[in-house]
Structure 1
Amino acid sequence: MFAKSENAGFALSLVGNCTAMDILAAAIKHRMFLPGETVLVAVSGGPDSVAMLHALLSRREEFGITIHIAHLNHGIRGEAADMDEEFVRALAQEWNLPVTVERVDVPALRRKLRMGEEEAARQARYEFLRRTGNKIGASKIAVGHTADDRAESVLMNVIRGTGIEGLGALRPVAGNIVRPLLDTWRSDIEAYIRENQLPFRIDESNLDLAYTRNRVRHELVPLLEKHYNPRVKNALVRLAEIAQSAADFIECAALDAVGKITYRGAIDAEMLCDLPEALRYQIVRSEIERIKGDLRDVEFEQIDRVVGALGSGDDFTITLPSGKIYAVRRGNEFRIVEKEQLPEVEPFEIELNVPGRTQVPQIGLVIEAERIESPQPKKTPPDVVLIPEDAICGTLRIRSIRPGDRIIPFGMRESKKLQDVFVDKKVPRAKRALAGVVVDDEKILWVVGIVASEATRITERTRHAIRLAAIR
């Protein structure tokens, strides 16, 4: 949908009481731009990005910057998205600015990456902006987040569960990403749009309550303002600023500390555990980001698990998001490593608590065991197995794989080498390195998460079984 103030056009006139410097307060406060820089300005066509572009353009000589527009057609809204693209192209032409436009099929990307539409669109947008910025030689990328966006992001992170970094949502400057409107409320931007008679596009999906941010914006925030605190957005923004200052201090302290406890590429685990808790969490978080390249899909619970495992003093291997990096402790050495660097697991054998939980830190695993009466023959997920009690000889144990290990796979009569099973099932080498086997006194009953033995078959005659579940 196209919207404009009365007599709006593409002219660069600047009128009214809400000035460009007013809405660019964050840019001035944080000295976002240096003379001679090329700034890539992300323009969706909505009021925030149009106001940002207009304000930057009207003050580009004062900042001494060159402006280049970037627009990504997400392919989500069909014809409306195409009209957004046409609008931005026309705006660039009227204001005599270079523009780069790309199209991406976000629904297809969402399916490929197995993530939500909002996250897929965000990922596509920032990848496009970084790629375009590199191509044109832009040293800064300006995006149109406002103070309202910041308050909403803090609230969303609190609801989702977050640490201090999440409380400090949307930094004014994050690498080469800058947010010139971050100190400006949406109401002031709307006033700027009206006073300068700027045209803009309306994204009707911003009203769709199927999206979490829209529910927070249109339902939760108004509810909090009405019944709890009419200035709740101000409070949330202030919280973000305080959290960012605290996070910056902790990051600097952690960087100083890790340099003192790192030897030959490994962190001294005991010295790490002697540090204050906040520094332990920050060091683990920073190491994950250093090896992984980002913190996408890394949740607080995963960092908490690594910090907790360090406190136990035992060796461990913990699989981190995407299954491509691992937290590893061997002796007193702690590392975050990629799968190619994964060290061999030291031989181990642990008796299972039945019923109960058994920690297997060597391969980053917990086994939960319970007794089941009258089990039913049915397919179980890979991380669960039912073992008839009358098939168990002696005690149940979990151990590391040994050369020559064999199993009779479920549904087969003859035994196979585990190595052949791994090849047949195309098990990655990194996963093989972390495989454990559940055994009794005579045989392998389960290669955890990969294959069960024929001996685990449940029949109508089975009266009692042990249910094992593997939790990584």
Structure 2
Amino acid sequence: MVGQDSLINRVKKTIKKYALLKPKSRILIGVSGGPDSICLLHILNQLKDEYKLQLFAFHLNHQLRGKESDEDEKFVKQFCQKLKIPCQIKRAKVRKYAKQKKLSLEQAAREVRYQLLEQTRKRLRCDGIALGHNANDNAETVILNLVRGTGLTGLCGIPPIRDRIIRPLLEIERDEIMQYLINNKLTYRVDKTNRNPKIPRNFIRTKIIPQLKKLNPRLIETISKLSNILRQEDSYLNGLTDNVIEQIRKERSKPGITLDNKLFLSYNLALRRRVLKSLLPTLGYDKIEQILKMSEEKTVGTIQLTKDLFARQEYDRIYLGKKVPIPINQAIPIPIGKSSLIKDMGIEIEVKLKSKIDLNSVKVDKNTEVFDYSELAPPFYLRYRRPGDRFIPFGGQEKKLKEVLIDDKIPRRVRLCLPLFCDTKGILWILGGRRSARAPITPKTKRFLLVRIKQWKDQTPRTV
């Protein structure tokens, strides 16, 4: 039998172990009225003076069980009044939400509950949300994830702390909680739907775990230890994964991210798989494996990942993201003597005409170019590529612009969206990349056209 002091001391150890509570915190406690949440509320009430806590309770009436749901609400309200803890009651039409979002009732109830908990936390200016998940809940989660198919992260189970959510009972077993309630003569509500074996979690709780306990009577404790070890290892591997992403990332833009495939392949397969899962967390095993295979075979091609998402092998790079929409191709006039902000292109460009210029002080790079103004044909404008465009690369021969970009290994999705600085005779500069052979600076140049990109938002990555 677990005594009151013994259980409370174990909860305190969990609080200390995971740094769940800080002194003088304002804590919102999710209270369904079931055994776990009643135990949690009662224990935190016992500890509030020691930790100098301000406690608030939250109850959501899911309106799924008619009169029983209303009785749960009434019970929680009365229990909180007895403990003199302010209680926030909310009601939600979970069935309607589930239908709108095409979710199961269980998933819909969870989403609505967490949304309203967070809204209430912000309104009450609470530091954290305490929930009553216990060691049995964790074991059920691990087994459920294993059955569904999961990686290491799924076997980590329920975290004791995530963002502002804390779980002080996570290392306490359900039998111990029930004994605590008996010892303290605490009543609670019973949700009959928790007995329905058609719900996967209930099936695991009532059918699978009792059988597994015949093999290992300390199953819940064993899984709890396993989860703790795996959480630590998963955290370490997440750190390694983040470092790898920083090393292999070439560009990140609104549509997606581009990776250096050669560098990507230099890492261990396990890390490569974790990188993809980190970048595309909703993607399943099969799609991740398809990307890995495409990367290894180095074949140019596209994999449709979801309705809006795809992966593409682009020369020595891999692009993960959305399709870049083909831009509306219109010529945008660029005046001389001031900066022009072209919102549709995400570019601010400055064009100045100078009679003198110190070329040593002007850094000609991907953001700056200088032309001999006497060789140009104003006015100037920005536009995107058009069919039949031709270009004379500096130091090269005239050819189709498309061929120049292909030679430079510019992916098609980028080729379509590269802004071009032009005059009436043609293309002068592929912004961020090659300039034309026209209008070079010579000792005879008397007027200089200085063109500078002041800012270029990552609407389209510069890969020229």
Match of 1:254 in 2: 241
Partner residue, 1:385: none
1:23-70 per-residue CA deviation (whole Å, 9 max, x = no partner) reads 444222211011232211111000100110111111012223221111
**Matched residue type, 2:317:** E
Q: TM-score, normalised by structure 1?
A: 0.64
Partner residue in 2 for 1:233: 220
TM-aligned CA distance change 1:303 to 1:72, over 3 Å: farther
Alignment map for 1:189-204 (pairs within 5 Å): 189-204=177-192
Equivalent residue runs for 1:430-469 within 5 Å: none
Partner of residue 302, structure 1:
287
Determine the structure 2 residue equivalent to 1:452.
none
1:84–1:24 distance in 2 versus 1, CA, 3 Å? farther
SS in structure 1 of the partner of residue 279 of structure 2: helix
Matched, 1:28 2:11: no
Distance across 2 between alignment mates of 1:342 and 1:257 = 29
Aligned amino acid, residue 27 of structure 1: I
Structure 2 equivalent of residue 333 of structure 1? 317
- 1:182 matched to 2:170? The reply is yes
Indicate conservation of the 8 Å contact 1:24/1:181, yes or no.
no
Superposed displacement of residue 16, structure 1: 4.1
* Other-structure match for 1:349: none
Counterpart residue identity of residue 181, structure 1: L
- Cα distance, 1:98 vs. partner? 2.1
CA distance, structure 2, for counterparts of residue 312 and residue 283 of structure 1: 18
Query: How many angstroms apart in 1 are the aligned matches of 2:75 and 2:53?
Result: 24
- Counterparts in 2 of 1:71 and 1:201: CA distance versus 1, 3 Å: same
Amino-acid identity (%): 28
Structure-to-structure mapping, 1:38-437, within 5 angstroms? 38-226=26-214, 228-265=215-252, 266-289=258-281, 295=282, 298-320=283-305, 323-338=307-322, 341=324
Read off the aligned partner of 1:282 and give its amino acid letter.
R
Q: 1:27·1:181 contact (CA, 8 Å) conserved in 2?
A: no
Three-state SS of the structure 2 residue aligned to 1:200 is coil
Aligned-partner Cα distance in 1 for 2:82–2:310: 52
- Pick the structure with greater CA Rg: 2
Q: Deviations over 1:147-167 (max 9, x none)?
A: 011111111111111000001
1:64-114 CA distance string (max 9 Å, x none): 322111111112211111111111122222222222222222222222222
Q: How many residues align?
A: 324
Question: What one-letter code is carried by the residue in structure 2 that aligns with 1:207?
Answer: R
Secondary structure of the residue aligned to 2:280 is: helix
Which structure 2 residue ranges, 5 or more long, are not aligned? 253-257, 328-386, 388-412, 417-464
Q: Distance in 1 between matches of 2:326 and 2:270?
A: 28
Unaligned runs of 5+ in 1: 1-14, 290-294, 345-402, 404-429, 434-472
Query: What is aligned with 1:3?
Result: none
Query: Residues 322-374 of structure 1, C-alpha deviation per residue, up to 9 Å, x if partnerless?
Result: x34444443333344345x4689xxxxxxxxxxxxxxxxxxxxxxxxxxxxxx
Task: Label 1:112 to 1:318 Cα distance change in 2 as closer, same or farther (>3 A).
Answer: farther
Determine if contact 2:173/2:220 at 8 Å carries over to the other structure.
no
User: By how many angstroms is 1:17 displaced?
Assistant: 4.7
SS of the residue aligned with 1:59?
Answer: helix
Is the Cα–Cα contact under 8 Å of residues 148 and 185 in structure 1 kept in the other structure? yes
**Whole-angstrom distance in 1 between the partners of 2:24 and 2:322:** 40
Change (3 A) 1:325 1:144: farther
What is the CA–CA distance in structure 1 between the aligned matches of 2:300 and 2:121, rounded to whole Å? 44
Deviations 1:397-455 (A, max 9, x none): xxxxxx9xxxxxxxxxxxxxxxxxxxxxxxxxx9xx9xxxxxxxxxxxxxxxxxxxxxx
